[in-house]
């Protein structure tokens, strides 16, 4: 049995982010939920109030022998705009912030290194506002949010 690892990313609406990771080779499971806030057991309505401090996140369980954390980070950076504070497309609020929640020191180092490399590349004309913070309690979102786009045969968050 392979030793699995966990990665957690916030990159706007969690439906599209989950779909991006769900189909990736080496990913064994995805779940959408909330992280980074202060209220225990938040609901979607709580988080949407923009008062709990939680971000919509995708928790990715993966086999590091089949997909690296660095590859997961590359996908994270390529699939959202890391320069918009508390916003992705039409979605506005702290729950849509760009965030990497690291689970150990090696993830923190890799996340900081990848962010610095992206900043140095000049790809984005504005500063990258992605927060890199320790993972906190993951609160799984309601069942109807899990694999939302897959269940509807859709491939992006804003269809």
Q: Is 13 one of the annotated active-site residues of the chain? A: yes
- Which H/E stretch holds residue 28? strand 27-35
Among residues 13, 35, 72, 100, the one annotated as catalytic is 13
List of long-range contacts for 116-120, beta carbons under 8 Å, 24+ apart: 118/77, 118/82
CB crowding 13-29: b at 16 or more within 10 Å, else e = bbbbbbbbbbeeebbee
CA distance 77 to 73: 6
Residues noted as catalytic: 13
């Amino acid at each position: 049995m392979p030793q699995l690892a966990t990665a957690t990313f916030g990159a706007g609406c969690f439906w599209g982010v989950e779909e991006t990771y769900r189909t990736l080779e080496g990913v064994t499971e995805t779940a959408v939920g909330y992280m980074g806030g202060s209220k225990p057991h938040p609901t979607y309505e709580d988080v949407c109030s923009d008062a709990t401090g939680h971000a919509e996140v995708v928790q990715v369980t993966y086999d590091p022998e089949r997909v690296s954390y660095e590859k997961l980070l590359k996908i994270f950076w390529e699939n959202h705009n890391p320069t918009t504070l508390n916003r992705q497309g039409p979605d506005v609020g702290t729950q849509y912030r760009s965030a990497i929640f690291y689970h150990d020191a090696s993830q923190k180092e890799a996340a900081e290194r990848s962010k610095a490399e992206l900043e140095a590349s000049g790809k984005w004309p504005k500063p990258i506002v992605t927060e890199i913070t320790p993972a906190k309690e993951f609160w799984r979102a309601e069942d109807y949010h899990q694999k939302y786009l897959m269940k509807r045969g859709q491939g992006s968050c804003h269809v």
